Chains A and B, each alone.
Chain A
């Protein structure tokens, strides 16, 4: 979403029926619930929640530096008696869980709702996780909407539940809630003043003695929540006429069940943790057998089995990925010994893959072109657009697991090197926002423990992969207003990197970049090379005059193709045999001038100087025509 679109947004009047994504619906309900503080770190598929919340009036919203901080901010506001909201993608809660696992003991004063968006099917994540585990782990309730209207309603319900039981509530979303648009009827906003912070040491200061006294209260709260789940209007029984199989389901899986088996009885668990066991038992009595349909892990299933309720689940359904009618129908047909439906048997036609690429003129292109030239190097990577450097044509990233991990992994690769890696250079690549999120501590560890690592800090002034959000590195806040800006060079020096080992480099100047990188990787101590050009998708980027290729001059050397810019296309391939007898592949190219923004990266390695500004070529042609 662009900044302009955000600013144009105004709350629609109550009773409006709007086409909203799940993220937009949650945000509307956050506003209507009288939330005063909302915080998040961007992450697909959760990002739009805070983006949209920030457009509503009367709410303090922020991009926090990471999910843990965002949850602590929201918790602090809840301690102060404000309703507060926090949103994150599934892996965000791994980072934030340290805070969650103790705030469950203190509980909250103002309502606190934590929306966690699971990327079921991994459309844009490094793993697939089921965030409903956190409900079990932290003994907090979990609500699971199944479409946009419910995302809206359940958010309202979550705040009521949170305040009534003084507990943080997890709103569990998936990509198919966050990014599906459906019709939502919205309501009125109600103002809620902050109750004010009440000093209560035994509750808010979690030292062992105090925490120990809160444990029984937490379990007592869970018993009460289970009783509430038994009677909650969010848990609905839909009796059906075909009772051979009854379904217990939650979240978007409900929609697939309802569509696939219109006549079957369904117990839809909107308030899915604590599981209402008695309600399930009563439901089970209505059906010949039960199938639990849930994404992703068999959580409800396992708990029902432990209660002695006979159910099928992941023993017949896939263990990972999204469920859908074409997954469910054959499974249930087989269970009932019926013929398996034929729909959807046509196989996709074979077409090349189209993996995501870096953008035209992306400042990371020069970095990966340069990294690809380095020999005898292991490159520890991180989470962001620059993860794409592992692919063609660069093949210049060797590892990526989690936010900020490039730092620690690099140090481990250095300290744990085997005989075969004796002379290997270790490079870590990390973006500005990822560095601030969780990379700083790793760099401090590299410095403190005298690691031999060269860090490439790619400062493109944005959280690029999620759409260019602001962060403390670009000096703008969530509303695009001016904010204090971190100085990366000063920061890394403060962490202990020696001044001579810190370089700020323009990533479009390939010779300087290569020279700096080659020199720093030779020096056996921590160094940091900071690149300083903005993401091409944000307003700081300014287009330059586009380039074109003079066909007659192109020798097919293919050097420009190695940059990996998507505006460069190969028009013709050939092979020549050199005098040495070596066969060489040739790639003749053209530049899509309409897409080119004139960064000049491809001009630098072009051996025959065949790449020129498009307007230069036009004027030459015009001049020639005049003659």
Chain B
């Protein structure tokens, strides 16, 4: 990674994208980085697209990530991960929730939901670790845990340790909703494990491909 780390977090309004980015920002600040965070979230509260840019390093100037320079793409929704793939640099990594949120334009039959967003992103040449964060959150008992699951998933791919990020999340909950600390600890661990398994699967596939070649 270059001097500045570029992370793009995407999803739709109400999924906790902006909060997740804010926690990533707090972790970077705790480690002494300069940080800028910006959103394109016009009317996000109304179910629109949200893309949150986080840049950190010794000194950050422009708050926006230039297309083709993101190190990490954290997709909270399958099609949204696909929508923003072009923001990644060629060797960048996409961490994608396979969970889907179908918009009214699809329900009304005006547009189609992509058949397999993860496969499409892969076919375009991007490294993807995909997992069903929505299902993991639901299993833990609350779909609102989705953003902690996603943060767990990205935690082993940051230029700092997963524990720093986990600490920032739990500190937040300890201050605001102490009853939820334990649940979020589990959500974080589950996300971390899911991304780890996806990485393993991806690597073994690569291995098979290499042998076949």
Contacts and interface: CB of A to CB of B under 8 A. Distances in A.
A381 to B, nearest CB: 16
A491 B86 CA distance: 54
A76 B190 CA distance: 58
Contact of B113 (A260, A326, A352): A352
Contact of A354 (B37, B38, B48, B143): B48
Interface string A346-361: 1111011111111100
Contacts of A425: none
A343 B69 contact: yes
Contact of B36 (A182, A356, A569): A182
Interface stretch (B97-105, B158-166, B195-203): B97-105
A354 B109 contact: no
Q: Is chain A's binding surface mostly helix, strand, loop or mixed?
A: loop
A206 interface: no
Size range of the chain A interface in the assembly:
35 or more
B73 interface: no
A259 B59 CA distance: 10
Interface in B28-46: 29, 34-46
Contacts of B112: 352
Nearest to A357: B47
A614 to B, nearest CB: 16
A356 B67 contact: no
Contact of B83 (A122, A345, A351, A585): A351
Contacts of B47: 354, 356-357, 359, 566
A352 B79 contact: yes
* A176, A322, A355, A561 interface centre (most CB from chain B within 10 Å): A355
B143 A594 contact: yes
A351 B79 contact: yes
Interface stretch (A164-172, A385-393, A493-501, A600-608): A385-393
A618 B45 CA distance: 31
Given A259-B62, A349-B124, A357-B104, A180 B86 contact: no
B103 A182 contact: no
B204 interface: no
A268 B48 CA distance: 35
A256 B48 CA distance: 27
Given A343-B66, A344-B69, A348-B86, A176 B105 contact: no
Contacts of A358: 46
Contacts of B49: 354
A287 interface: no
A473 B112 CA distance: 41
Contacts of B79: 351-352
B72 interface: no
A423 to B, nearest CB: 30
A544 interface: no
Interface in B108-166: 108-114, 117, 120-121, 124, 143
A346 B46 contact: no
Contacts of B39: 179
B86 A465 contact: no
B103 A346 contact: no
A356 B62 contact: no
A355 B105 contact: yes
A568 interface: yes
A182 B67 CA distance: 21
Contact of A326 (B22, B35, B66, B80): B66
Interface in A186-217: none
A347 B67 CA distance: 9
Contact of A392 (B13, B22, B104): B104
A594 B12 CA distance: 17
A349 B37 contact: no
Nearest to B37: A181
Contacts of B69: 343-344
B40 A123 contact: yes
A354 B103 contact: yes
B152 to A, nearest CB: 22
A465 B42 CA distance: 10
A573 B108 CA distance: 10
Interface in A278-301: none
B111 A352 contact: yes
Interface string B44-59: 1111110000000000
A540 B36 CA distance: 36
Contacts of A181: 22, 25, 35-38
B159 to A, nearest CB: 18
A467 interface: yes
A561 B107 contact: yes
Given A19-B25, A356-B46, A573-B109, A351 B114 contact: yes
B46 A359 contact: yes
B61 A258 contact: yes
A570 interface: yes
Given A182-B63, A348-B83, A356 B42 contact: yes
Interface string B65-79: 011110000000001
B109 A570 contact: yes
Contacts of A573: 109
Contacts of A355: 48, 103, 105
Given A353-B105, A354-B12, A392-B105, A19 B66 contact: no
* B49, B104, B120 interface centre (most CB from chain A within 10 Å): B104
16 contacts: A123-B42, A181-B22, A255-B62, A256-B61, A260-B62, A326-B68, A344-B68, A346-B86, A348-B86, A349-B82, A352-B106, A355-B48, A355-B105, A356-B13, A356-B42, A568-B107
